[in-house]
């Protein structure tokens, strides 16, 4: 992979991750009838987006943005743990059911998207042989 295609892949993966966290926040707000204004969604998403950003930098995720084990799993853990920590210190809710739902949903979104990408890549590679 060239440096240019690697940076394109990293930017695309980062963008997808951010959209997935915003989708998580949107679904959560909709399921609790909290309103779906852009500001409301950002209010719900910001702790997780901030934690994701810290994780992206700490892991140097741009080096292997699509890697399930090297990037996806640790980034998911940092996003959930950091997001919950930020919610706790700002007085937002961290009830156990929310922690469980957020953990499982973000696992599906952040790690699941990388698993799907890996499956697509492996099928493409197999079809070119």
Q: Where are the domains of the chain?
A: 3-127
Query: Does residue 4 carry a pLDDT above 80?
Result: no
For residues 54-67, average pLDDT: 97
Question: Cβ atoms within 10 A of the Cβ of 77, count?
Answer: 17
By CB atoms closer than 10 A (0-12, 13-18, 19+), residue 44 is buried
For residues 38-47, average pLDDT: 96
Query: Does residue 102 carry a pLDDT above 90?
Result: yes
Per-residue confidence band for 72, with pLDDT thresholds at 50, 70 and 90: very high
- Rounded Cα distance, 56 and 60, in Å: 6
pTM of the predicted protein model = 0.91
Query: Does residue 34 carry a pLDDT above 90?
Result: no
**Residue 52 pLDDT:** 99
> How do residues 106-122 score in pLDDT, each as one tens digit?
999 999 999 999 999 88
Q: Give the torsion through C-alpha atoms of 88, 89, 90, 93, to 10 deg.
A: 10
Q: What are phi and psi of 55, to 5 degrees?
A: -65, -45
**Locate tokens 């940076």: which residue?**
7
Per-residue confidence band for 88, with pLDDT thresholds at 50, 70 and 90: very high
Taking the CA atoms of the chain, what radius of gyration do you get in angstroms? 16
**Residue 63 pLDDT:** 96
């Amino acid at each position: 992979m060239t440096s240019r295609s690697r940076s394109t892949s990293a930017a695309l993966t980062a963008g997808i991750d951010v959209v997935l966290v915003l989708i998580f926040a949107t679904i959560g707000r909709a399921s609790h009838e909290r309103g779906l204004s852009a500001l409301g969604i950002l209010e719900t998403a910001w702790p997780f987006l901030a934690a994701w950003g810290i994780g992206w930098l700490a892991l140097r995720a741009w080096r292997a943005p699509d890697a399930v084990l090297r990037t996806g799993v640790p980034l998911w853990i940092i996003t959930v743990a950091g997001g919950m920590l930020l919610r706790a210190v700002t007085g937002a809710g961290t009830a156990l059911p929310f922690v469980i739902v957020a953990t499982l949903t973000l696992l599906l979104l952040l790690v699941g998207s990388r698993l799907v990408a890996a499956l697509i890549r492996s099928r493409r590679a197999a079809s070119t042989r």
